[in-house]
C-alpha cells in the first residue's frame, strides 16, 4: 500500500507541476484499517456528511499485482464475514475422560468438521473458476484457534475464528442460516459472534455505458496497457464506496510482478514502480476531464448481483 499511495501522490504532483487544470476535483484519501475491515476508516467516512459534501462521482482504489503486462481492474469485491465461535464444555484433569461431545474441544471439533465440509465443497468450485473471477465460490478458512491453560488440564472453553468471503450472488440471509445450523449442530454451550459481517456491495459497470470506465480504458491505452476486469478472492475498501452508491474500480499498476500479497519477500521492481506513476497520471487526467454533462447519477454505473434465495 505504501507503493500505491506514493504512486497516486506523485501522479497528482506531476499534474499540478504541469499546471494542468481539471474540470473535476480530485481528492486523495489515506485510510487506517483496510486490512481489518475498514470499520474505523472508509466505512464510517463513506456515510459521513464530510464525504457527502465532496459530491464524489467515482472512486479509484487499490488493486493487485499482475504477473503480465495486462492491468487487473477490480470492479466488485466479495463481502467479508469474520466469525468467532466459542465452545464451552466439561473441564477437568487431563487424566479424566469425559465424553467427547461434552467437552469444549469436542464441540469445536464438530464445528470444524461441518465447516470443513463446506470449505471442501467450495474448494472444488474454486479450482475450476476463472482466474479473473472469484465470485463463483465462498472461501472459508479457520485462521485462529485459542484454547487451553496447561497440558494436563481439559480446557473448558475453545475459540475458533473464521474468515469468510462470500460468493457475490449468494443470499446472505440463507448463508447465515446454513452457517449457524452447521455450528449449532455441535450441541449447546456454543456462542457465535460476527466480528465483521459486510452486506454484499454492487458491481461497477465495465462497459462503454460507463463514462468512468471509458476514461480509465483510454488512459491505460495511452501508456500501452490493456485492462482485465476481475473479481478478486480478497476485498478492498472500495466495497464501502459501492454500498454508498459510488462506482469504484481498484487498480495497482504493478505489472510483470509476482503475486506475493501477504507472503514472504513481497517485492516490487523500481522500474515497475516508476511506470505505475505514468499510468496513474494518464488515468487521473482522463477521469478528471470528464464533463458533468457526460455523466449521470453515480448509481447509474452500479449493478446488484445478489440473488435472493440463492444458497450454497
SS (H, E, C) 53-92: HHCCCCEEECCCCCCCCEEEEECCCCCEEEEEEEEECCCE
Q: How confident is the model at residue 12 (pLDDT cuts 50, 70, 90)?
A: very high
Structural domain includes residue 312: no
Q: How confident is the model at residue 234 (pLDDT cuts 50, 70, 90)?
A: confident
Residue range 117-123: mean pLDDT, rounded: 98
Q: Grid coordinates 475422560 are at which residue?
A: 97
Q: Grid coordinates 476531464 are at which residue?
A: 289
- Per-residue model confidence as pLDDT tens digits over 285-302: 999 999 999 999 999 999
The answer to whether 171 touches 51, Cβ cutoff 8 Å, is: no
pLDDT of residue 262: 80
Euclidean distance between CA atoms 4 and 8, whole angstroms: 6
Structural domain includes residue 241: yes
- Which of 62-76, 157-171, 252-266, 290-304 is predicted least confidently? 252-266
Please check the confidence at residue 259 and state whether its pLDDT lies above 90.
no
Please check the confidence at residue 206 and state whether its pLDDT lies above 90.
yes
Residue range 276-292: mean pLDDT, rounded: 97
Share of the chain above pLDDT 70, in %: 100
Say how many domains are in the chain. 2
Structural domain of 172: 80-197
Please check the confidence at residue 124 and state whether its pLDDT lies above 90.
yes
Domain limit, last residue, from 165, 197, 229: 197
**DSSP letter at 149?**
S
Note whether 173 and 210 are same-domain residues. no
pTM over 0.75: yes
Note whether 170 and 254 are same-domain residues. no
The answer to whether 59 touches 145, Cβ cutoff 8 Å, is: no
Amino acid at each position: 500500500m505504501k507503493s500505491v499511495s506514493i504512486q497516486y501522490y506523485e501522479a497528482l504532483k506531476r499534474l499540478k507541476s504541469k499546471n494542468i487544470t481539471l474540470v473535476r476535483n480530485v481528492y486523495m484519501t489515506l485510510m487506517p484499517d483496510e486490512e481489518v475491515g475498514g470499520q474505523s476508516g472508509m466505512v464510517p467516512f463513506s456515510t459521513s456528511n464530510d464525504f457527502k459534501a465532496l459530491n464524489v462521482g467515482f472512486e479509484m482504489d487499490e488493486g493487485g499485482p499482475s504477473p503480465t503486462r495486462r492491468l487487473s481492474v477490480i470492479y466488485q469485491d466479495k463481502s467479508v464475514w469474520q466469525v468467532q465461535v466459542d465452545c464451552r464444555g466439561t473441564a477437568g484433569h487431563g487424566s479424566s475422560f469425559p465424553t467427547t461431545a461434552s467437552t469444549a474441544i469436542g464441540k469445536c471439533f464438530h464445528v470444524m468438521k461441518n465447516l470443513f465440509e463446506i470449505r471442501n465443497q467450495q474448494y472444488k468450485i474454486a479450482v475450476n473458476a476463472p482466474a479473473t473471477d472469484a465470485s463463483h465460490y465462498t472461501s472459508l478458512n479457520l485462521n485462529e484457534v485459542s484454547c487451553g491453560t496447561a497440558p494436563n488440564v481439559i480446557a473448558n472453553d475453545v475459540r475458533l475464528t473464521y474468515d469468510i468471503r462470500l460468493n457475490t450472488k449468494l443470499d446472505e440471509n440463507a448463508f447465515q442460516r446454513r452457517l449457524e445450523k452447521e455450528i449449532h449442530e455441535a450441541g449447546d454451550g456454543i456462542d457465535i459472534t460476527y466480528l465483521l459481517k459486510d452486506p454484499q456491495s454492487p458491481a461497477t459497470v465495465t462497459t462503454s455505458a460507463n463514462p468512468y470506465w471509458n476514461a480509465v480504458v483510454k488512459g491505460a491505452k495511452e501508456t500501452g496497457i490493456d485492462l482485465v476486469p476481475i473479481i478478486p478472492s480478497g476485498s478492498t475498501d472500495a466495497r464501502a464506496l459501492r454500498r454508498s452508491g459510488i462506482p469504484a474500480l481498484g487498480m495497482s499498476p504493478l505489472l510483470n510482478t509476482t503475486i506475493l500479497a501477504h507472503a514472504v519477500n513481497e517485492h516490487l521492481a523500481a522500474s515497475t514502480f516508476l511506470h505505475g506513476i505514468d499510468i496513474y497520471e494518464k488515468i487521473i487526467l482522463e477521469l478528471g476531464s470528464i464533463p458533468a454533462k457526460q455523466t449521470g447519477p453515480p448509481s447509474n454505473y452500479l449493478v446488484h448481483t445478489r440473488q435472493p434465495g440463492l444458497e450454497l
